[in-house]
Amino acid sequence: MNATMHPVFPVTSGGYTGLLRLRTIIRLRWIAVLGQVVAVSVVYFGLGFDLPIGLCAAIIALSAWLNIYLRIRYSGRLWLKSDYASAMLAYDVLQIAALLYLTGGLQNPFAFLIIAPVTVSASKQPVRHTLFLGLLAITCVTALTVFHLPLPWYPGETLVLPLIYIFGIWAALVSGAVFFALYAQRIAKEARQMSEALAATEAVLSREQNMSALDGLAAAAAHELGTPLSTITVVATELLRDAPRDSAQKEDLALLRSQAERCREILAKLSAGAEEPDSMFSQMPISHLLEEAAEPHRVFGIEINIDAAPVLEAHSDKEVAGEPVGTRNPAILHGLGNIIENAADFAAARVDIRARWDRDTVKITIRDDGPGIAPAIRDRLGEPYVTTRAGHGGDERGPGSDEQGLGLGFFIAKTLLERSGARLEFTNLPPPKHGAEVKISWPRSMLEAQGDPAAPQIT
């Protein structure tokens, strides 16, 4: 079958898809068909109310046959384009409206089901498609206030509800359609943003771990290749010394020795920027960890001061505990580096990093002397796609934003640090001071256990 005949296209990673799986619509429609069959059967056969049973059965059967056709014609695993999904949901709105027309219009207690397809659309479809379905549902609801058959009732009796009550039902359905659509759209948007932001976090962490692994491989390669290259250099030197002055091989041996020396110099440069991943060298105290995180950001003309010291016991000058030492952790380094970078970007002249520890807790405070966190985003800072880069005023960006500052930096830093067991707090300095302050705290045992295979994993 030609793929262009399918109302589908594959899902791609990244970005907003706005797709509905065909299987989802089919299953929801089967649930609706089953409910409609039960409701009509109970009213007609159980209660004995008169209603156009033939037309009702035909409308319900049409939905059932449409489901059977779609299930046979297409695979349930396929994803529908927005236009096709909206067409199917529009059919569901019209099908429910037709049943309501035959069974009393808005007087029917099941009239609220007409807003269900609009809610489904709001959870996955673009806004314009949801707006179309909402207008269609409102149009049908408005028409049903006037045009409908009588509500099935006891023989010889006619139930007539007051017009003001019918108007109240209309208002409830319209407001319900708007509210549930906005609610479902907002929840779905936040879920998509969180999923995409977590994927970005995993990618950042993977990159940091890969870079650490490459450093280790470079150091290992320099160590392993150093010995054979030294041997080649020695042999080439001996052969060059013994070769006759006018020998044709003398130039070749000189070239061989020079190239071996060059290889040793290249390996020396590689090993200078990487350490062999030995457990003894991978351990670092908290002060060294802060120095490594802050060092790349000292080139922006901002003074970065680091103050690391233990907490002193009350009424005593005796230190309560030695400096905490943990394994070099790429996730913690990236998280701290991101927060320090953000502080340096907004600082006027300096950034102060203060570390304090005792026997149970390690606390790090990062301050800048900039304008501080904008009130509009203070409570949402750390959520995905909330950024302070738009003129320092705060903004919320979508996944497809191309402007500088996607709002993922703080989210990634916060997520990575929280996965290591840290707790974060974002505040502004109290007046008359100005600037932002980030407080990070770990249980000391958890920070020192980072990188230990036997330590419990933080999720």
What count of other Cβ atoms lies within 10 Å of the Cβ of residue 310?
17
- Structure-token match 């236009």, residue found: 83
Same domain? 374 vs 234? no
Same domain? 273 vs 301? no
Range of the domain at 273: 216-278
The closest of 432, 435, 315, 316 to 365, measured between CA atoms, is: 435
Same domain? 311 vs 251? no
Largest pairwise CA distance in the chain: 128
Q: Is residue 152 within 8 Å of residue 109, measured between CB atoms? A: no
Same domain? 257 vs 285? no
Residue 198 counted as domain residue? no
pLDDT at position 384: 61
**CATH number for 395:** 3.30.565.10
For residue 437, the cross-strand partners are 367, 427
Residue 453 counted as domain residue? no
Instruction: Give yes or no for residue 90 having a pLDDT over 90.
Output: yes
What count of other Cβ atoms lies within 10 Å of the Cβ of residue 364?
26
pLDDT at position 141: 92
Same domain? 245 vs 258? yes
Radius of gyration of the chain (CA): 35
Pairing relationship of beta strands 350-357 and 303-310 according to DSSP bridges = parallel
pLDDT at position 246: 73
Residue 186 counted as domain residue? no
C-alpha 112/C-alpha 391 separation (Å) is 46
Residue 210 counted as domain residue? no
pLDDT at position 314: 56
Same domain? 41 vs 150? yes
Pairing relationship of beta strands 350-357 and 283-285 according to DSSP bridges = unpaired
Instruction: Give yes or no for residue 215 having a pLDDT over 90.
Output: no
What count of other Cβ atoms lies within 10 Å of the Cβ of residue 309?
12
Residue 421 counted as domain residue? yes
- Structure-token match 């994993």, residue found: 457
Same domain? 263 vs 302? no
Q: Residue range 95-123: average pLDDT?
A: 90
What's the mean pLDDT when you consider all of the chain?
77
More confident residue, 135 or 231: 135
Q: Residue range 398-417: average pLDDT?
A: 60
Q: Residue range 53-81: average pLDDT?
A: 89
Identify the band that residue 277 occupies on the pLDDT scale cut at 50, 70 and 90.
Answer: very low
Same domain? 266 vs 390? no
Same domain? 17 vs 109? yes
Tell me the helices (H) and strands (E) count for the chain, helix number first. 12, 11
Residue 56 counted as domain residue? yes
C-alpha 302/C-alpha 299 separation (Å) is 7
Identify the band that residue 57 occupies on the pLDDT scale cut at 50, 70 and 90.
Answer: very high
Residue 269 counted as domain residue? yes
Instruction: Give yes or no for residue 231 having a pLDDT over 90.
Output: no
Q: Residue range 27-34: average pLDDT?
A: 92
**Total count of domains within the chain:** 3
Which of 136, 161, 186 delimits the end of a domain?
A: 161
Q: Most confidently modeled of 61-65, 334-338, 365-369, 410-414?
A: 61-65
Dihedral sign for Cα atoms in the order 137, 142, 148, 150: positive
Same domain? 386 vs 290? yes
pLDDT of 280-331, one tens digit each? 456 788 888 888 888 888 766 788 889 888 887 655 555 566 888 877 777 7
- Structure-token match 């980072």, residue found: 450
Q: Residue range 248-256: average pLDDT?
A: 79
Q: Is residue 325 within 8 Å of residue 283, measured between CB atoms? A: yes
Identify the band that residue 4 occupies on the pLDDT scale cut at 50, 70 and 90.
Answer: very low
pLDDT of 168-194, one tens digit each? 999 999 998 888 888 887 887 777 777
Same domain? 30 vs 157? yes
Which of 278, 313, 331 delimits the end of a domain?
A: 278
pLDDT at position 16: 40
Same domain? 297 vs 392? yes
Which of 254, 278, 302 delimits the end of a domain?
A: 278
Rounded to the nearest 5 degrees, what angle is found at the Cα of 231, between the Cα atoms of 229 and 233? 70
Residue 297 counted as domain residue? yes
What count of other Cβ atoms lies within 10 Å of the Cβ of residue 307?
12
